[in-house]
């Protein structure tokens, strides 16, 4: 129970990695406030958290509505008494070359993936300072390290989060607030399943190709990523800030030699 007596906010917690992170934080003792744009899925995550015995607030939020974000954060602080952990996980990933994306799509990716984490951080920081410190963790990606066709704008937002965390970490170190990022590789999650379904005529072959891209021979799991977030949220990482942890099976630094 490394997170007993702490309160965590997780965005995009309706399914996939966000749900996994939220449930793992709860299992370690944190009371949870979770949000997602999908009411049915975030309520299901809330039920899973309640089964751990922790308190939970579930909200349906469009995180591009910044006034609503502030109201949500303040509600959490008022109801639970504090905010100690923020996980900015929510993201969208339209797949198209930049020349084929309209400006509205580009703006949506930037607003959801990069601006919203800034806004959540802005409104959580005063509550963390009042609590004596905290941990902000942004969900980055190997696409923020490596170039990937079709997701250049998405990758730009993830690289932006890595830079954002470094700057925030310097601003907030004096307040005992640590800021880090996690960069997963390909993860066995609903986002991957939808990507393969929409972009591949042979899903089985596509899945094998993703496995082969990772030097350890397979893609990662939601649990593996979630455990990294628990580590960064806890005192086990008390000397770690302004850092990006790649949870990618070696993908970001691999050579391109074919596997036997």
Q: How confident is the model at residue 120 (pLDDT cuts 50, 70, 90)?
A: very high
Instruction: Give the separation between CA 221 and CA 211, rounded to whole angstroms.
Output: 12
Instruction: Give the separation between CA 201 and CA 181, rounded to whole angstroms.
Output: 34
26 to 42, 63, 119, 211, 219: CA distances (angstroms): 15, 22, 24, 30, 25
Catalytic residues: 154
Q: How confident is the model at residue 257 (pLDDT cuts 50, 70, 90)?
A: very low
The tally of CA atoms less than 13 A away on the side-chain side of residue 80 is 27
For residue 155, what are its two tokens?
């990758």
User: Whole-model pTM?
Assistant: 0.94
Instruction: Give the separation between CA 2 and CA 13, rounded to whole angstroms.
Output: 21
Q: How confident is the model at residue 260 (pLDDT cuts 50, 70, 90)?
A: very low
Classify domain 7-185+222-241 at the CATH topology level.
Rossmann fold (3.40.50)
pLDDT (0 to 100) of residue 200: 82
Instruction: Report angle CA 85, 178, 173 to the nearest 5 degrees.
Output: 135
Residue % of the chain over a pLDDT of 70: 98
Q: How confident is the model at residue 256 (pLDDT cuts 50, 70, 90)?
A: low
Residues 60-97 pLDDT 10s: 999 999 999 999 999 999 999 999 999 999 999 999 99
Residues 190-203 pLDDT 10s: 878 887 888 788 88
């Amino acid at each position: 129970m490394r997170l007993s007596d702490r309160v965590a906010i997780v965005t995009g917690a309706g399914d996939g990695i966000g749900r996994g992170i939220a449930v793992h934080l709860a299992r370690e003792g944190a009371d949870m406030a979770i949000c997602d744009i999908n009411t049915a899925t975030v309520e299901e995550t809330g039920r899973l958290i309640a089964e751990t015995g922790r308190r939970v607030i579930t909200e349906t939020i469009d995180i591009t509505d910044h006034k609503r974000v502030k109201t949500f954060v303040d509600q959490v602080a008022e109801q639970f008494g504090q905010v100690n952990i923020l996980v900015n996980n929510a993201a969208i990933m339209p797949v198209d070359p930049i020349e084929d994306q309209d400006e509205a799509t580009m703006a949506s990716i930037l607003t959801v993936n990069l601006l919203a984490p800034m806004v959540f951080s802005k409104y959580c920081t005063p509550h963390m300072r009042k609590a004596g410190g905290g941990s902000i963790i942004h969900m980055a990606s190997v696409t923020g390290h490596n170039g990937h066709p079709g997701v250049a704008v998405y990758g730009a937002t993830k690289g932006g989060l890595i830079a954002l965390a470094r700057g925030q970490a310097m601003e907030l170190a004096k307040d005992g607030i640590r800021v880090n990022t996690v960069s997963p590789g390909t993860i066995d999650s609903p986002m991957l399943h939808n990507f393969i379904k929409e972009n591949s005529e042979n899903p089985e072959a596509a899945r094998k190709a993703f496995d082969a891209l990772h030097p350890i021979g397979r893609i990662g799991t939601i649990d593996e990523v979630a455990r990294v977030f628990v580590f960064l949220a806890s005192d086990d990482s008390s000397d770690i800030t302004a850092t990006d942890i790649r949870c990618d099976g070696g993908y970001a630094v691999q050579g391109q030699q074919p596997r036997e």
